A and B are shown apart, each in its own frame.
Chain A
Amino acid sequence: MTTDYDVCIIGSGAGGSPVALTLAQAGYSVLVLEKGPWFNEQDFSKDELACCRRSTYTPPLTQEQHVIEEATDEGDWVATPTVESGWDFWNGNCVGGSSNFMSGFFYRLKPVDFRLRSEFGAIAGANVVDWPISYAELEPYYTKVEQLAGISGRIVKHPQQEPRSTPDFPYPPLAENIISSWIDSACHKLGYHALPTPRAILSQPAMARNSCSYSIYCGSYGCSTGAKGSARTALLDHAVKTGRCHIQPHAKVYRLISNNKGKVTGVDYYDKQNKSQRINAKIFVVACQAVETSRLLLSSPGPYHPHGLGNNHQQVGRNLLFSAGGIGQGTFNYDNLTAQQVEALKVRGPFVNRGLQDWYTIHDTKLGHVKGGTIDFLFRHPNAIARANGQKWDDNGKLVWGKPLKRKLKAYFTEARYLQFEVFCDWLPTDNCFVSLDNTVMDKWGSSVAKVRVGYHPHDLKVGRYLTEKAKTVLGTMGARDIYASVSGNPPQNLMAGGCRFGTDPVSSVLDPDCRMHDAENLFVTDGSFMPTGGSVPYTWTIYANAFRVADKIIDQLGESRHSA
């Protein structure tokens, strides 16, 4: 059978791009279908309206949305379309996906994350399982990503350090604000091991990319220098240069076609003019980010897959993961500091870049031996309009205006800096967190949107609170004022994984250990969907690493049969 391409990849983000690069470099012809437009460095600027107040990089919810099911206090599930709630579950629909807008806090998983069930035992109400692969199998690919994404950092030995095959990161740490040294002193006093946070941001020019320009805005913003290791900059641009990778933006895939043996034979997509197009290839890769990947598979029944592609055992969409944890903040008022300290603290640009993994596993008399997580410190996001808008309410929830509002704004912006922390811990997989298709709400093309039930396990909150208390001791020891923290079961929609577990048993998993669909031999899923448990760090590095691992499996499967382009 003749095909248009060797490999057709659906989704151009962190999951799809490593496959595109690897296969194109190996001589195969690759097509990447991306729903959104193709932006580049010149399009990105420090524009708060573009990044965060208008739907510039995500679809208008009136045209494409989700339905979110949340539990009421009585335990009932209530479904709300996001067009009504305003709770936007899109994270970046453009070439490179949401990796364009990540902060690039890059942590590896640790060996213990691959065997959570064996290490800590079962937890009632949670579907915890071991992974079918070990850390050792992923380690070479973590190392590969360090090089290609360009990770800056410095290894500091600590009790929970994961093994690595190289001594240190390929690029030195990014510049730091003075507050990083205050965190170090406080942690030293407390007996904690403050770690420089590895960042997927170049501290030196390399690989045809500029280094970081310390322009203050990073997370939520597209990078204007190419320093941020987005899938677009670090991987796809190089894939395109091989001449064997074609990227098709404005291509919304709505269905995979499969034959009576289960094999995928083509994909249907709508082009920019909303005309349906069909593409065939030898291998298909789905990487649309967890929720949309499950939605696409469920929307693609075939003769062998009557309940949706790969869903003969009703596993697609189940065990969706977010990241549990919380956030906190402490205030550093300038009038409590020396003039010199204030000057140094006011410097904008250099990063905080400090994390704590002392409690990645916890041995506690009350909690017992449980999986813990990661604490990361950062300055409050500098978005000015959002910060100003937060000042218009007084402590009693009453609107403030006139001169009192102006005095409040002036003080908030000019008399203190705000150090925050984020806690990342495992979002336990449960039967209350899954993707299905909504029967009533359609997107602008008439396809059912994803319905996402976002229940959490109460254990997550216990672990989150434990870590939050530890983080607060750091802020307290540093002399911060107005310290507060919040831990909740609300899912952060930008940190999602799961829905298509990999495993050895076709009855309880969707993908095999190579992330190939159990009953569709030429279909791979390479975004975060494969993860049976999520670990206690942001997902992007692991998604990159695993996608590079799977790319090698795809090459094994294709063998020497390259498309004659």
Chain B
Amino acid sequence: MSRNSKQTRNSNAWRTFAQAFASWQASPVSRRHFIQGMSAISAGMLLPVSTRAKTQPGAAPIPQQAPWQTIAAVQEHLFPSEADSPGARDINATSYLKTLLDDAEHDQDERNFILNGPSWLNELAKTEYEKPFTQLDVTQREQLLQRIARSEAGENWLSLLLLYIFEALLSSPVYGGNPDGIGWRWLEHNPGFPQPTSNNSYKKLLLR
């Protein structure tokens, strides 16, 4: 394992990912991300988003192109669907994240950091198991994610994916996650009223 690990760390995929992490770390968004963990009423991340994103009620398909299949597999592992509770696929976690990152206004360092993770993860998976991440079994996926969580970059990558899983789980359905309030129902959370509509979503308010 240690031999392989060294190889992996010298690979191009690792270097690209590590560089993306460094840029992201130097950007305003990452530091804000940590501050947010400290306070329930924190000031909010700096993620202006244009109006291009459209809301699709109900289940949204997982995009076929790379790296979205891998990201979807990681999200499902981090937040698995169960018979009595929703998981990543039930809350449209993948399409929610893609919509957010596809926006030209979204922080580019964060976008690069998130999207570069899968190449590194897959290279690691092939070195360890001779298969891409999506073809690993649950135990292998767990071992691999535990391993990347030991590096600062890997831990931050997973932490960001979790943050956006929570957004997809608990934000208003108008943003594409949490279909029919499935996340709110599971956590017996009362979201208050009125809820935003397509006319007063933050994307619209940011244009004012």
- The reply to whether A410 and B194 form a contact with Cβ atoms under 8 Å apart is no
- The reply to whether B192 and A216 form a contact with Cβ atoms under 8 Å apart is yes
Partner of A413 from B41, B44, B78, B188 at Cβ < 8 Å: B188
- The reply to whether A386 and B48 form a contact with Cβ atoms under 8 Å apart is no
Whole-angstrom distance between the Cβ of B134 and the nearest chain A Cβ: 17
- The reply to whether B155 and A55 form a contact with Cβ atoms under 8 Å apart is no
Indicate if B79 sits at the interface (CB-CB under 8 A).
Answer: yes
Indicate if B167 sits at the interface (CB-CB under 8 A).
Answer: yes
Indicate if B151 sits at the interface (CB-CB under 8 A).
Answer: no
Chain B residues positioned under 8 Å from A413 (CB to CB): 187-189
Interface with B: A45-53, A137-145, A534-542, which one?
Answer: A45-53
- The reply to whether A389 and B162 form a contact with Cβ atoms under 8 Å apart is yes
Chain B residues positioned under 8 Å from A147 (CB to CB): none
Whole-angstrom distance between the Cβ of B139 and the nearest chain A Cβ: 12
A158-185 CB mask vs B (1 if < 8 Å, else 0) is: 0000000000000000000000000000
The 7 A-B pairs at the shortest CB distance, nearest first, are namely A86-B32, A46-B192, A88-B43, A50-B202, A413-B187, A37-B208, A384-B170
* In the bound complex, CA of A45 to CA of B159 (Å): 28
Chain B residues positioned under 8 Å from A402 (CB to CB): 77-80, 142
Chain A residues positioned under 8 Å from B197 (CB to CB): 45
**Closest residue of chain B to A327, judged by CB?**
B39
* In the bound complex, CA of A54 to CA of B105 (Å): 12
Whole-angstrom distance between the Cβ of A4 and the nearest chain B Cβ: 25
- The reply to whether B78 and A52 form a contact with Cβ atoms under 8 Å apart is no
Whole-angstrom distance between the Cβ of A507 and the nearest chain B Cβ: 38
B142-180 CB mask vs A (1 if < 8 Å, else 0) is: 100100010000010011001100110111100100000
19 A-B contact pairs sorted by A residue (CB < 8 Å):
A46-B191, A47-B200, A48-B171, A49-B167, A50-B196, A56-B206, A58-B44, A60-B48, A86-B29, A86-B43, A217-B192, A382-B189, A386-B42, A388-B170, A389-B163, A392-B162, A402-B79, A402-B142, A413-B189
* In the bound complex, CA of A393 to CA of B77 (Å): 17
- The reply to whether B187 and A414 form a contact with Cβ atoms under 8 Å apart is yes
* In the bound complex, CA of A61 to CA of B43 (Å): 11
Chain A residues positioned under 8 Å from B171 (CB to CB): 47-49, 385
Chain A residues positioned under 8 Å from B149 (CB to CB): 398-399
Given known pairs A401-B162, A403-B80, the reply for A83 and B201 (CB within 8 Å) is: no
Which residue among B46, B159, B184, B201 has the maximum number of chain A CB atoms within 10 Å of its CB? Answer: B46
**Closest residue of chain A to B145, judged by CB?**
A401
* In the bound complex, CA of A90 to CA of B46 (Å): 13
Given known pairs A43-B205, A86-B35, A402-B80, the reply for A62 and B162 (CB within 8 Å) is: no
Indicate if A135 sits at the interface (CB-CB under 8 A).
Answer: no
- The reply to whether B194 and A45 form a contact with Cβ atoms under 8 Å apart is yes
- The reply to whether A47 and B201 form a contact with Cβ atoms under 8 Å apart is yes
**Closest residue of chain B to A41, judged by CB?**
B194
Whole-angstrom distance between the Cβ of A148 and the nearest chain B Cβ: 26
- The reply to whether A390 and B44 form a contact with Cβ atoms under 8 Å apart is no
Chain A residues positioned under 8 Å from B184 (CB to CB): 384
- The reply to whether B28 and A86 form a contact with Cβ atoms under 8 Å apart is yes
Which residue among A42, A219, A386, A403 has the maximum number of chain B CB atoms within 10 Å of its CB? Answer: A386
- The reply to whether A382 and B192 form a contact with Cβ atoms under 8 Å apart is yes
Indicate if A39 sits at the interface (CB-CB under 8 A).
Answer: yes
Indicate if B101 sits at the interface (CB-CB under 8 A).
Answer: no
Whole-angstrom distance between the Cβ of A177 and the nearest chain B Cβ: 13
Partner of A389 from B36, B47, B142, B195 at Cβ < 8 Å: B36
- A43-B200, A53-B45, A402-B80 known; 17 new pairs, CB 8 Å cut-off, are A39-B205, A45-B196, A46-B192, A46-B195, A47-B201, A48-B170, A50-B196, A50-B202, A215-B193, A381-B40, A381-B41, A385-B170, A389-B162, A389-B166, A392-B159, A402-B79, A410-B85
**B75-109 interface with A by 8 A CB criterion:** 77-80, 82, 85
Which residue among A43, A52, A60, A401 has the maximum number of chain B CB atoms within 10 Å of its CB? Answer: A401
Indicate if A560 sits at the interface (CB-CB under 8 A).
Answer: no
- The reply to whether B37 and A393 form a contact with Cβ atoms under 8 Å apart is yes
Indicate if B13 sits at the interface (CB-CB under 8 A).
Answer: no
Chain B residues positioned under 8 Å from A241 (CB to CB): none
Indicate if A440 sits at the interface (CB-CB under 8 A).
Answer: no
Indicate if B65 sits at the interface (CB-CB under 8 A).
Answer: no
**A493-508 interface with B by 8 A CB criterion:** none
- The reply to whether A390 and B40 form a contact with Cβ atoms under 8 Å apart is yes
